[in-house]
Amino acid sequence: MKKSNVVKRQMVFSRQFSKRHIFGRLGTYGCETRVFAGRDLFGSKLNFSMIHGELRLLGGWPLFVKSHRIEAGHVCAFMFQEEEEGELSLRVHVLGTMPVPTI
């Protein structure tokens, strides 16, 4: 995770990623979804929004980051899943750390 992904009020996924993996599911609209991390069974409700072709996680991202102790330098895998009810959920796996380059 870059520092900007941790300290900003939103998490932005690239246009290329959004178009390839998410756009077909959400279209040009957003939705509320559950985001899970680690062994969390209940998840946190966050809002997805498509802005200028980029998927953004809004409304609760800073609290999610703080609650799960996600820091700059953590390597995270984001896995989108269809739930039984047809809703989209997201599981965040924190895989470890690597040095964050300073500019």
CATH 2.40.330.10 fits 3-97, yes or no: yes
CB atoms within 10 A of CB 64: 21
What pLDDT band is residue 85 in, cutting at 50, 70 and 90? low
Res. 14: pLDDT tops 80: yes
Q: Which phi-psi region, left, alpha or beta, contains residue 86 (left: φ > 0; alpha: ψ -120 to 50)?
A: left
Res. 28: pLDDT tops 60: no
- Please give the model's pTM, rounded to 2 decimal places: 0.72
